[in-house]
Amino acid sequence: MFRRTVLHARTWRPGVLTCVLLLVGCASTPPDRTELMPVPAVLEGGRFDPFADVPPQARRLQTEILFATDRDPADAGDLEHHYASRRGYLVRLGRARILHGDGALDWDSATRLSLQPQRKPPYRLRVGAVEEIGILASTASPFTDPALLPADPDAPAAAFAAAVDRKLARAQQPDIVVYVHGFKVPFENPLLVATELWHFMGYDGVFIPYSWPATPRLLAYFSDVETTALSAHYLKELIQFLRRRTAAERIHILGYSAGTRLVLDALSMLALSTAPAVGGARIGEVILVGSDVDTGLFAAALTNGVLDTSERLTVYLSGIDGALRFANLVFGRERLGQLLDHDMPAHVAATLGAADELVLIDVTDAEDADARSGHSYFRESPWVSSDILATLATGLGPAERGLVRDQPDLPIWSYPPDFIARLQRALGKAASASDRRDGSLQSAEGSARVP
């Protein structure tokens, strides 16, 4: 495997810009369905089975996913079926039905098929019926039409929190993962992505996709970028609501592409808030992948104290991310997710390296990290998906998971050629040391759950 010795050795290949113009974002057609992501490499070979410790009474496909959105409900004049790609100026809470294999798969066939490297037939997911529970009243503003709010403003929040808690009561690890999508996708996309990630977590805990009003058009990029600033406020309110009103132990946040803007802005708002600290669930892992954020804005977020808001902030970096190179060309400023493209000044390396709660990971040489213009590696690379899911399931640090520091003077971790073997050993060791069986990524040999 080729290991770069010069950080900016990767070059801009002819034709990449054309491909990026077509592929930037993470949309697929038709918009309400997708094919299940490749099986994470750590699950291949049968040593670890995400479904091994699911009790018999729970061995049924999760066909319901809870969601939150600040999109406006679709009306008769919209192309969208459920929620439009325009701002709704409120957070709406709901649930959606997810069809596995167009509804034809049962637990045994779905779990068996999903773990196959070459799936025949393909494993497809589709969004079915969508039900809105109601408006999160804390997101109403002085400009909100009072007619939109129910007679009991707290009823939707209470109903949604109860739905979350019912799922958490069945979980071995009672955590919530909030997934925040990227640019150029419709309402349904984050529901599908959250479902496939949840599937490979053995349906433990609760995944909640946050669907902000991105627009499935390339030319809407600039308006969408502006929209992220407003949606960050609503995301902050959702996080605070989940911390206050649910039985979750921790709230994890996974942000992708332009969605990382929402995550960083929401955490900055929390860091700068003068309100009393919120009790309840902690914010655990915050993971940013393909981050389309100006590095200057990231520096400002660090100054604002974002590292104090969570247990750990992990930023995945790539030197071959075509979509971020496109964004760099558009704005003329380096993106956070491509921090490797230039030599890092010694004073920056020292500052980042001194932050124990910050982890930077180079995915450039990970298996299939260049798939789909190199921007969708968190789903397309079996190494990166393994690493992210292991982090969410166990909380192990990068060294514990088997990552290495190639250059001691740089605070950047990378994947060695034997990363998956290292990760499997780490998970096996963690499973053997665990006293309880309460979650996903457990050993198929019947050992205790990987904590």
**Average pLDDT over every residue of 163-182:** 96
Give the integer Cα–Cα distance in Å for 427 and 448. 11
283 beta partners: 251
Q: Is the pTM of this model over 0.85?
A: yes
**Sign of the alpha-carbon dihedral angle for 280, 204, 390, 434:** positive
pLDDT higher for 343 or 34?
34
The domain locations on the chain are 45-443
Task: Report phi then psi at 364, rounded to 5.
Answer: -55, -40
- In contact, 81 and 96? CB cutoff 8 Å: no
Identify the pLDDT of residue 72: 96
Contact 182, 256 (CB under 8 A): yes
With a cut of 80, say whether residue 335 has pLDDT above it.
yes
Mean pLDDT of 387-398: 96
What's 364's DSSP letter?
T
Contact 63, 99 (CB under 8 A): yes
Taking the C-alpha atoms of residue 201 and residue 138, their distance in angstroms, rounded to an integer, is 31
- pLDDT tier for residue 443 given thresholds of 50, 70 and 90: very low
Task: Name the maximum alpha-carbon separation found in the chain.
Answer: 63
Read off the pLDDT band of 407 (50, 70, 90).
confident
Does residue 440 have a pLDDT over 60?
no
Using DSSP bridges, classify how beta strands 33-35 and 124-135 pair: parallel, antiparallel or unpaired.
Answer: antiparallel
The tokens describing 416, both together, are: 């060695």
**pLDDT over 70 at 197, yes or no:** yes
- Cα–Cα distance list, 236 to 24, 226, 231, 299, 309 (Å): 26, 17, 9, 20, 12
Mean pLDDT lowest for which of 39-43, 68-72, 305-309, 328-332?
A: 328-332
Predicted local confidence at residue 271, as pLDDT:
96
Cα 259 to its chain centre, rounded Å, is 9
Reading the block at residue 409, the tokens are: 């003077």
- Report percent pLDDT > 90 for the chain: 68
Q: In terms of Cα–Cα distance, which of 140, 138, 216 is closest to 184? A: 216
Average pLDDT over residues 303-313: 96
* Mean pLDDT computed over 290-309: 95
Q: Beta-strand (E) ranges in 325-393?
A: 358-362
Q: What is the pLDDT confidence band of residue 341, given thresholds at 50, 70 and 90?
A: low
Q: What are phi and psi of 133, to 5 degrees?
A: -80, -40
At 148-164, the pLDDT tens digits run 999 999 999 999 999 99
- Average pLDDT value for the chain: 87
Task: State mean pLDDT over 412-437.
Answer: 85
For residue 444, the model assigns a pLDDT of: 47
Q: Is the pLDDT of residue 447 over 60?
A: no
CB 401 within 8 A of CB 450: no
pLDDT of 342: 60
Say whether pLDDT at 192 is over 80: yes
* CA–CA gap between residue 306 and residue 316 (Å, rounded): 17
138, pLDDT greater than 90: yes
Are residues 335 and 293 in contact, defined by beta-carbon separation less than 8 angstroms? Answer: yes
Query: What is the reported pLDDT for 434?
Result: 62
Query: Residue 287: its pLDDT value, please?
Result: 98
Q: Is 45 helix (H, G, I), strand (E, B) or coil?
A: helix
Cβ–Cβ under 8 Å, residues 360 and 339: yes
Better-predicted residue by pLDDT, 74 or 332: 74
Query: What is the model's pLDDT at position 441?
Result: 55
| Segment 386-391 mean pLDDT | 98
Q: Which helix (DSSP H) or strand (DSSP E) does residue 318 occupy?
A: none
The token duo for 376 is: 């969708």
Tell me the H-state helices in 273-410. 295-304, 322-331, 346-353, 377-380, 382-394, 398-401
Q: How far apart are CA 208 and CA 179, in angstroms?
A: 6
Question: Of the candidates 48, 41, 37, 44, which has an alpha carbon nearest to the alpha carbon of residue 441?
Answer: 48
Average pLDDT over every residue of 203-225: 91
* Choice among 49-53, 324-328, 446-450 with the minimum mean pLDDT: 446-450
Closest to 322 measured CA to CA, from 306, 344, 300, 337:
337
H or E element: which one contains 394? helix 382-394
Highest mean pLDDT among 14-18, 170-174, 217-221: 170-174
**Residue 24 near residue 323, CB atoms below 8 Å:** yes
Candidates 3.50.50.60, 3.40.50.1820, 3.40.640.10, 3.20.20.450; correct CATH number of 45-443? Answer: 3.40.50.1820
pLDDT tens track for 93-126: 999 999 999 788 999 999 999 999 999 999 999 9
Residue 376 reports pLDDT greater than 80: yes
448 pLDDT more than 70: no
286 close to 258: Cβ distance less than 8 angstroms: no
Cβ atoms of residues 425 and 41 within 8 Å: no
Per residue in 236-270, pLDDT (tens digit) is: 999 999 999 999 999 999 999 999 999 999 999 99
Token pair in block for residue 423 = 């990760």
Does 451 have pLDDT greater than 70?
A: no
Of the candidate ranges 9-13, 103-107, 409-413, the one whose mean pLDDT is the lowest: 9-13
Average pLDDT for 139-150: 93
Residues 6+ apart with CB under 8 A from 311: 250, 282, 283, 284, 285, 357, 395
- Does residue 436 surpass a pLDDT of 60? no
Q: Coil, strand or helix: which one is 36?
A: coil
Q: In what order do the strands lie in the sheet with 124-135?
A: 33-35, 124-135, 83-100, 64-73, 206-211, 175-180, 250-256, 282-289, 312-317, 358-362, 412-414
Whether residue 451 has a cis bond before it, omega within 30° of 0: no
Token code pair at residue 229: 């600033």
